[in-house]
Amino acid sequence: MSDHVGNRAVVLGGGMAGLLAARVLSEAYADVLVVDRDTLSGVAGPRRGVPQGRHAHALLARGQQILEELFPGLGDEFAAAGVPAGDLAGDLRWYFNGRRLRPARSGLVSVSATRPVLEARVRARVAALPNVGFLERHAVLSLRSTPGGKRITGVRVAAAEDGAGPGRTLEADLVVDATGRGSRTPAWLEELGHGRPEEERIKVGLAYTTRHYRLSSDPYGGDLSINPVASPANPRGAFFPKLHDGSSMLSLTGLLGDHPPTDPEGFLAFVRSLSAPEIYEAVRDAEPLDDPVTFRFPASVRRRYERLRSFPEGLLVMGDGVCSFNPVYGQGMTVAALEAVVLREHLRRGVPRPRRFFRDIAPVIDVPWEISAGGDLAFPGVEGRRSLKTRLGNVYMSRLHAAAARDAGVTEAFFRVAGLVDPPQALFRPGLALRVLRNSGDRPARTGRAGDGGRMPGGVASSGGAAG
């Protein structure tokens, strides 16, 4: 059709970033093909290509809004399926520095669906698009390019069971790499003579350990989830949402090598050390539905593609392949959604130019990166440069969390920024800063584990937990 900017776009990776890319590409290319190593059709549970999918995940408020824009009625589908939903700041129980934040009505929706359920619903919507197809159980072997590597013309793929066989070439006007943290684009660029992008790393030594339970008592009341967030005084945290099938997911988080154990006794001992004692009371006599399973995340990584002096036409990178955030902040899927919005804007102007695209998504990444990296640097054991801005910001965030234990207006403002709806500057507006100063005096913590330092949460339960 005359309004298409190209004939075929190939998306590498069928996770959330790839699905969102395929959705916006379907408006501009006659044919869109999504390639993935896994079986995707009919899969409603965790899959090998998304190891963090077994753990608590989050889609932040802005990501929720974008999904509803791209897939109208998606929220109604979740409601019809019985997936619980509520207010992010008012229907989830949050603890920071041992203090419970005062609930607020923010109008920001949180949907308590697991990552596999969320992904399956979005994948079904994308698969229903008439010009989108899926090539499952296929590995990507290499890129195809013009002589000199100035333009990508396709990818070479092979059936996953064939390993590194000869494969076949998929011609493409545009290739979008959405394969995540393990993206091979840096190596491919080096082979093509463009060089690798600079990388920024924040080593956090994080691990999730997750178990599901059938509870014999109700610790939630009217809340969707109970979330004690790690702090420097107690770098152990948890996300404890109730799920649509009546079970509960408990994802424990531990930083800097203090990883939650997988043996039942060690797991419970870790639960008992949390700053929300009602979680231990709920699970100590509950029925376990599975064995604990662990996912490790060594470091947040940001690849600075926008700083490369050259980059081949016909290739883009999105999602965790550009920036992989500490998952406790739940930012990954929402940032992928924001990048999809940027891609849509570029497509409406014509063929996307890679270097311009990377320059335009850089400020989209800046805010969540500053939030997560700055929050992580509040922990003394996390290596990294602590600028004066970072140190002052963490002191202020500690006072803000203390004030939010008393003032629902502070809670609302905090979650609007943490949900990437409002800019961070909103937390420093004079009226709010005055409320923070007025309400952040000494206040006993709920447990003996209160401490200084603050971190922005990822939110939980809008996809079941906090690994975004």
Residue 308: beta bridge partners? none
Give the pair of three-digit tokens for residue 173.
């006007």
The structure tokens 């684009």 sit at 185
Residue 464 has pLDDT above 50, yes or no: no
Instruction: Please report, for residues 253, 317, 371, 435, 438, the alpha-carbon distance to residue 431 in angstroms, rounded to integers and kept in the order given.
Output: 35, 40, 22, 7, 11
Report the pLDDT value the prediction gives residue 59, as an integer from 0 to 100: 81
Q: Which of 50-54, 149-153, 434-438 has the lowest mean pLDDT?
A: 50-54
Helical H runs in 85-207? 115-127, 185-191
Instruction: Tell me, yes or no, whether 351 lies in a domain.
Output: yes
Tokens of 65: 């809004």
Q: What's the pLDDT band for 449 if we cut at 50, 70, 90? A: very low
Q: What average pLDDT score do residues 277-285 get? A: 96
The token duo for 338 is 């924001």
- Band (113; pLDDT cuts 50, 70, 90): confident
Which domain does 128 fall in, by range? 6-69+118-199+302-366
Query: Residue 417 falls within a domain, yes or no?
Result: no
Taking residues 93-103, report their average pLDDT: 94
Inform me whether the pLDDT recorded for 445 exceeds 60. Answer: no
423 inside domain: no
Q: Considering the chain, what percentage of its residues have pLDDT values greater than 90?
A: 73
CATH number of the domain enclosing 33: 3.50.50.60
Mean pLDDT (whole number) for 277-289: 96
Residue matched to tokens 């229907």: 91
What pLDDT does residue 231 have?
A: 87
**Is 433's pLDDT higher than 50?**
yes
**What residues form DSSP beta bridges with 206?**
297
Tell me the per-residue pLDDT of 156-172, one tens digit each, with 9 for 90 and over: 999 977 655 678 999 99
What are the φ and ψ backbone dihedral angles of 197, each rounded to 5 degrees?
A: -75, 150
Asked if residue 87 belongs to a domain, the reply is no
Mean residue pLDDT of the chain comes to: 89
Band (pLDDT 50/70/90 cuts) for residue 112 is confident
Spatial separation of the C-alpha atoms in residues 295 and 207, rounded to whole Å: 6
Residue 34 lies in a domain: yes
In a domain, 41, yes or no: yes
pLDDT value for 457: 42
Could you tell me if residue 163 is inside a domain? yes
Asked whether residue 195 carries a pLDDT value surpassing 90, the answer given is: yes
Q: Are 294 and 338 in contact (CB under 8 A)?
A: no
Alpha helices in 9-132 (DSSP H): 16-25, 61-70, 74-80, 115-127
Mean pLDDT throughout 446-468? 40
Please calculate the CA angle 339-317-40 and round it to the nearest 5 degrees.
85
Question: Quick one: which of 8, 13, 50 has its CA closest to 34?
Answer: 13
Question: According to the model, what pLDDT value does residue 451 have?
Answer: 34
Task: Count up the domains in the chain and report the number.
Answer: 1
Q: What is the pLDDT of residue 460?
A: 32
Is the CB of residue 7 less than 8 Å from the CB of residue 314?
A: no
Would you say residue 346 lies in a domain? Answer: yes
Structure tokens, 327: 């998952």
- pLDDT (average), residues 427-438: 95
* pLDDT at 117 (0 to 100): 85
Q: Which residue has the higher pLDDT, 139 or 454?
A: 139
Q: Mean pLDDT over residues 455-466, rounded?
A: 39
Q: For the beta carbon of residue 442, count every other beta carbon within 10 angstroms.
A: 6
- pLDDT score of 7 more than 80: yes
Mean pLDDT of 134-161: 93
Q: Are 252 and 236 contacting, i.e. CB atoms less than 8 angstroms apart?
A: yes
Lowest mean pLDDT among 44-53, 55-64, 222-231: 44-53
Give the residue, 215 or 394, on which the prediction is more confident.
215
Report d(CA 181, CA 21) in Å as an integer.
17
Lowest mean per-residue pLDDT among 119-128, 289-298, 451-460? 451-460
> Which segments within 112-263 are labelled E, that is strand?
132-135, 138-145, 152-159, 168-171, 174-177, 198-214, 225-229, 236-241, 248-254
Kindly give, in sequence order, each residue whose CB lies less than 8 Å from that of residue 441, ignoring residues fewer than 6 positions away. Answer: 402
Question: How far apart (Å, rounded) are the C-alpha atoms in residues 313 and 174?
Answer: 8
CA distance 303 to 219: 42
**C-alpha closest to that of 424 among 402, 393, 398:** 393
Q: What is the pLDDT of residues 197-250, one digit of tens each?
A: 999 999 999 999 999 999 999 999 999 999 999 988 888 999 999 988 889 999
pLDDT confidence of residue 164: 59
At 225 the pLDDT is 94
DSSP alpha helix (H) spans, 273-314 = 277-283
Helix H or strand E segment including 94:
strand 92-96
Highest mean pLDDT among 364-368, 383-387, 443-447: 364-368
